Structure 1
Amino acid sequence: MFKNAKISFTLLNIALKFKMPLQLFDNILRWQGFPIQEAKSRFKQLLNNTDESIEQHKKAIVQHHLKHNNFYINLLDNKSTDWAKLPVLTKRDLQQPLHKRLSNDYSSKNVFKGKTSGSSGHPFTYAKDKFAHAITWAAFHHAYNEHDINLNTSLQARFYGIPLSGKGKYVELLKDYVSNRKRFPIFNLNNAILEKYVSRFRESKYEYLNGYTSSIVLLAKYCREKGTTLKTYCPSLKICIVTSEMLFADDRKLLEKWIGVPIVNEYGASEVGLIAMENPRGEFVLNQQNLFIEIVDEANQPVTDGTIGRILVTDLYNLAHPVIRYEIGDLGSLKTLENGTRILENLQGRTSDIARLPSGKVVPGLTFYYVTKSIINEDVNILEFIVIQKTEASFEIQYVSSQEMDGSQKVKVQKAMDEYLEPDLAVAFTRLDSLDRSNRGKLKQFMSEVD
C-alpha cells in the first residue's frame, strides 16, 4: 500500500496532531498521490461493463504497451496481436530487473513497487502506475462493502505473518494502524498462543477476520476444543475472510460452525490485486472491472465454461508495467450465471502444509516465505525454490539458480530460521537444474515429509 515508509509516518503524525478524520486508509493513499476517489468513481462506472467495453479495454492496454514498453515489444517479437495468439506472461519472464520492464516515462520514483511472496517459487518485483494501484484498492473497497465492511473504519483481526525486525516490521505495523487492523502473527499457533488470541477477541470489537486459511482453521479447531464459538467471545464479529490458500468444503463447515460467522473466500495476488471474492449469496464473483480473467488449455487457447485450465489475468489499467495474459499459477474453471455474472466455479491450488517443530510450535507453511525472503532480491539470481521438512528438526531448501548460494547467503537463511521458527534447526541446501512439480504444474513453496 505504501511506497515510502518515511513519508507515511510523517503524514500519519500530521493527521494525529491536527486530529484529522480517521479515514486514514484512503487519506494516506491520497496524500501519497494515489487518486483513490477518482478510482472509486471509475470502478463504480465499470460495474456496468459490457462485453464490448471489456474488449475495447483489452485492445487498448495491448496497444499502449506495444507503443511504450520495450519489454513487451520484445516479448511479442512482431507476432500477431490477436488476443488468443498473444504470449502468456509467466512469472519467470518477470524475473529480471524492474527498470527493464517499465514503460516509457515511468521509473521507480513515480510508480508503486511491490514484491510477490514467491509462494509459487518464482519471486519477482512488480510495479503499478498510481491510478492502477488506486483502482486495485477500489476493487477491494467495493467487494468488502458488499459484506458491510468498511476498509477505513471496520476493525480487522489479521491472521498473517510479519517481519520480526527491521524496517519491514515497522512498515507493516504502520499499514496495520492506517488500515484499522490488529495483527495476530501466525508463526506459532500452539494452544497457548491461541488461548491468548481468543482473549484478545474478548477485549476489542472486531468486525471481521482476514487471513491465511490454514491459520484460521487452527483457531476454529481450538474453539471446537473449548466448545465455544469465536462469535460468542466477540459478538461484533460479522464475517471471516480467508485467502492465500485453498478453502476445502470440510474446512468451511468447521469455520462456519466454530468461528460462528459467514465465511468469505477471497482470491487474489499482490501483483494484480483482487481476482475474485464471494458475495453475500456465496457466488465467487470475478473482478471484471479492472481485470480480465480467462482460462486456457496447454496450447494457451481459451476453454469453454466449466472446463478446468490455467488461470490467466490481465490488468486492464496498469500503464507502467505490462500484465497481459499473466499466468497466476493456479488451475480453475469459470461459469456464467443466468444474470450474466461471471464467477470462479472451481479453483485448484494454494494448499499449505503445517510444520511441527521439536519445541511444540505449529507453523503454517507460508511462514517459509519470511525465511526465504532474506535471500530473495534482485541481486541474487534464485529462480525457484522449495522448502522440504525432512524431520521435525531438519529442513532442505532446494533451489534453481545460475550460481551456488555463497556462505553469507546460507547464514542469512539459518538466522531467519532461528528467528521465525526456533534455534537449532538443521538446514541443507541443494542446488538443482529444475524442481519437481505436482500434477497441477504448480510449484509448492513448502512441503513436509514428516508424518
Structure 2
Amino acid sequence: MLPLFDLSLQFNGYPIQEAKAELQKIIAFTASQKEHFIENKKKEIVTFHLNNNPFYQQIVGAKSFNNWNDLPILNKQNLQRPLTERLSNGYSLKNVYVNKTSGSSGNPFVFARDKFSHALFWASTAYRFGWYGINLNTSYQARFYGIPMDFMGYQKERIKDFLGNRFRFPIFDLSDSVLEGFLHHFETKKFDYINGYTSSIVLFAKFLQQKNIVLKDVCPSLQACMVTSEMLFEEDKKLLEKQLGIPIINEYGASELDLIAFQNLEGDWQVNAETLFVEILDDNNNVLPYGQEGRIVITSLFNKAHPFIRYDIGDIGILDKKSTVRKPILKKLIGRTNDVAILPSGKKAPGLTFYYITKSIIEDDGNVKEFTIKQTKMDCFEIEYVSETELNMEEITKIENAIALYLEPNLNFSFIRKNTLERSNRGKLKQFTAMV
C-alpha cells in the first residue's frame, strides 16, 4: 500500500521524512546529550521569538533573557487575539498550519504551527503509535470523533479520513440504533485500531456489554484502542479491556501542542520529551520537584511560527518521582484548573471528585449510561443523566451520603434525567463544570 498519509503531508509542504529523521536523532540521545539538547532548544526557541515575534516581545517586555524561570507564563487568555497579531516575522496564514483548540477549557483560540513543527507533530504521533504495532500509513483506524456538520467542512474531514486511512464514527448521536450501525461496520471492516474520545468509546463498550459481545470476536484484526481528550477512569478502562478485548492506551495531548503523554508498554504515562518541555509549577510560578502536584506548563521546542513558551495549558498534574530528563513520567492528571469546586466550608475539591464518587455508585447496574455534574451555586449541584429508568430515592440518598462522607455534608443536588447530554461542537462530553 502506498504511504498515503506521509505522501499527503509531503504534498502539502510538511516535510515528514525530515521530521522523522530529526525525531530518531533525539530519541537516540544519551541522558547527558538529551539534557544538553533540551537546554539548547529552550534557549534557541526563546531567542528566536524574542527576535522575530513582536507579540512575544511585548509579553516578555524585553528582547533578551537571562533566567528561564523569570520568563512569563503564557495562558489561553493571552492568546485570544487575532492570529495574524501573534505570528512570527516571515510567517503568514499561507505558509503555516492553522487550527483551533476545542474550547473544552472554556477559552478556545486559533493557533499556528510552522510546517516543520507540524510534520514533527505527526512524526511524534507515528512513533508512539508504533509502540503498539500501529502504522499511520497502513493501519486502518476506527475513529470516534465529532465532525463538522456544514457541507464543505463535512466533505473536507471525510477526504482527510480517506488520506489518513481511517473510518469516522460521528459521535453526536449515540443512541442504541446508531451504535448497532457502528457494530455492523466492525463486523464488515478490518479495523486495526480505535482512536477517539473516551466517553463515546465507553458508551459503545456498555452497548456491547448489554449484548454480551466482545468486539475483538467480531473484528479479529483489532489490535489496540487509544483513548484521548477526556479522563479515563480505572473502572472504564477495565470495561473497555473486557468488551473490546484489546489493550487500552491512554493518551494525553493538546491540539495546539502535540501528544503530551502516551502510555508506554510498561503501563507508564511517558511524557513527550522530544518536542516538548514540561514543567509543574505552583500558584506562584515556582517549579515543583517530581512527585508534587501543580499546574502543567509546557514549552513547544520547535514551533517558530507561534510561541508556546511556558504555556499554562490549564491542567493540574504530577510528574512521577522516578522521572528523568530523558524519560519523564506523568504520574497523575488531576483535571483542569477551571474545574475545581469551591465548597461552602472553603474547601477546594477537583470537580472530578464528585464525578468519580457518583460514578462509583450509579453505574453499578448499568441503568445510567452517562452523566455530567454542574455546580450552579456554592452548595448546589445539578446531575444530568441518561438512563433506562429514573433514579429512585434510595439511589439518590446513597449518592448524597457518599459525597457528604468524602467531601462535606449539607450540599444540595438536583437530578435531571435527559434523553441525550450536551456535547461540545466537537463531540466532547464535559464531565464537570463549575458555573460559580
Asked if these proteins are the same fold (TM beyond 0.5), I'd say: yes
Match of 2:105 in 1: 120
Q: Distance in 1 between matches of 2:49 and 2:58?
A: 11
Q: Secondary structure at the match of 2:231?
A: coil
Aligned match for 2:308, one of 294, 311, 323: 323
Q: Does structure 1 retain, via aligned residues, the 8 Å contact 2:77–2:107?
A: yes
Aligned length: 356
Q: Distance in 2 between matches of 1:235 and 1:141?
A: 23
User: CA shift at 1:199, angstroms?
Assistant: 1.4
Q: Residue by residue, what CA displacement relative to the aligned partner does 1:318-372 show, whole Å, maximum 9, x if unpaired?
A: 111101011111111112548852111101226799xxxxxxxx8898xxxxxxx
Q: Distance in 2 between matches of 1:391 and 1:219?
A: 16
Aligned match for 1:332, one of 296, 307, 317: 317
Q: Distance in 1 between matches of 2:265 and 2:140?
A: 19
Match of 1:25 in 2: 5
- The 5 Å alignment of 1:118-157 reads 118-157=103-142
After superposition, the Cα gap between the structure-2 partners of 1:53 and 1:330, relative to the gap in structure 1 and judged at 3 Å, is same
Q: Distance in 2 between matches of 1:391 and 1:265?
A: 25
- Does residue 241 of structure 2 align to residue 261 of structure 1? no
User: CA shift at 1:251, angstroms?
Assistant: 0.8
User: CA shift at 1:190, angstroms?
Assistant: 1.7
Q: Distance in 2 between matches of 1:160 and 1:295?
A: 30
Note the aligned Cα RMSD (angstroms).
2.9
Match of 1:290 in 2: 275
Q: Does structure 1 retain, via aligned residues, the 8 Å contact 2:295–2:314?
A: yes
- Does residue 336 of structure 2 align to residue 347 of structure 1? no
After superposition, the Cα gap between the structure-2 partners of 1:364 and 1:236, relative to the gap in structure 1 and judged at 3 Å, is farther
Q: Distance in 1 between matches of 2:308 and 2:141?
A: 30
Q: Counterpart amino acid of 1:86?
A: L
Q: Distance in 2 between matches of 1:81 and 1:242?
A: 40
Q: Counterpart amino acid of 1:109?
A: K
- The 5 Å alignment of 1:262-411 reads 262-335=247-320, 337=322, 341-349=327-335
Could you list the runs of 5+ residues in structure 2 that have no partner in the other structure? Answer: 337-351, 356-368, 373-381, 387-417, 423-428
- The 5 Å alignment of 1:22-171 reads 22-49=2-29, 50-78=34-62, 80-171=65-156
Q: Distance in 2 between matches of 1:448 and 1:322?
A: 29
Q: Distance in 2 between matches of 1:336 and 1:39?
A: 31
Aligned sequence identity (%): 47
Q: Distance in 1 between matches of 2:15 and 2:65?
A: 35
Q: Distance in 2 between matches of 1:198 and 1:47?
A: 39
- The 5 Å alignment of 1:205-284 reads 205-284=190-269
After superposition, the Cα gap between the structure-2 partners of 1:308 and 1:238, relative to the gap in structure 1 and judged at 3 Å, is same
Q: Distance in 2 between matches of 1:181 and 1:201?
A: 13
After superposition, the Cα gap between the structure-2 partners of 1:54 and 1:214, relative to the gap in structure 1 and judged at 3 Å, is same
Q: Counterpart amino acid of 2:54?
A: N
User: CA shift at 1:262, angstroms?
Assistant: 0.6
Q: Does structure 1 retain, via aligned residues, the 8 Å contact 2:195–2:225?
A: yes
Q: Does structure 2 retain, via aligned residues, the 8 Å contact 1:120–1:445?
A: no
After superposition, the Cα gap between the structure-2 partners of 1:342 and 1:390, relative to the gap in structure 1 and judged at 3 Å, is closer
Q: Distance in 2 between matches of 1:207 and 1:173?
A: 19
After superposition, the Cα gap between the structure-2 partners of 1:219 and 1:144, relative to the gap in structure 1 and judged at 3 Å, is same
TM-score by length of 1: 0.74
Match of 1:357 in 2: none
After superposition, the Cα gap between the structure-2 partners of 1:208 and 1:448, relative to the gap in structure 1 and judged at 3 Å, is same
After superposition, the Cα gap between the structure-2 partners of 1:174 and 1:220, relative to the gap in structure 1 and judged at 3 Å, is same
After superposition, the Cα gap between the structure-2 partners of 1:391 and 1:277, relative to the gap in structure 1 and judged at 3 Å, is closer
Q: Secondary structure at the match of 1:349?
A: strand
Q: Counterpart amino acid of 2:305?
A: A
After superposition, the Cα gap between the structure-2 partners of 1:336 and 1:154, relative to the gap in structure 1 and judged at 3 Å, is farther
Q: Does structure 2 retain, via aligned residues, the 8 Å contact 1:213–1:247?
A: yes
Q: Secondary structure at the match of 1:342?
A: coil
Q: Does structure 2 retain, via aligned residues, the 8 Å contact 1:187–1:364?
A: no
Q: Secondary structure at the match of 1:217?
A: helix
Q: Distance in 2 between matches of 1:364 and 1:153?
A: 37
Match of 1:374 in 2: none
Q: Distance in 1 between matches of 2:328 and 2:303?
A: 22
Q: Does structure 2 retain, via aligned residues, the 8 Å contact 1:187–1:363?
A: no
After superposition, the Cα gap between the structure-2 partners of 1:113 and 1:389, relative to the gap in structure 1 and judged at 3 Å, is farther
User: CA shift at 1:48, angstroms?
Assistant: 3.1
Q: Residue by residue, what CA displacement relative to the aligned partner does 1:125-158 show, whole Å, maximum 9, x if unpaired?
A: 1011110110011100100111100001100101
Q: Does structure 1 retain, via aligned residues, the 8 Å contact 2:99–2:111?
A: yes
Q: Counterpart amino acid of 1:73?
A: Q
Q: Counterpart amino acid of 1:116?
A: T
User: CA shift at 1:163, angstroms?
Assistant: 1.2
After superposition, the Cα gap between the structure-2 partners of 1:218 and 1:327, relative to the gap in structure 1 and judged at 3 Å, is same
Q: Counterpart amino acid of 1:131?
A: F
Q: Does structure 1 retain, via aligned residues, the 8 Å contact 2:370–2:385?
A: no
Could you list the runs of 5+ residues in structure 1 that have no partner in the other structure? Answer: 1-20, 354-361, 366-387, 393-420, 427-443
After superposition, the Cα gap between the structure-2 partners of 1:216 and 1:229, relative to the gap in structure 1 and judged at 3 Å, is same
Q: Distance in 1 between matches of 2:250 and 2:329?
A: 12
Q: Distance in 1 between matches of 2:165 and 2:419?
A: 30
Q: Secondary structure at the match of 1:314?
A: strand
After superposition, the Cα gap between the structure-2 partners of 1:31 and 1:445, relative to the gap in structure 1 and judged at 3 Å, is same
Q: Distance in 2 between matches of 1:338 and 1:131?
A: 28
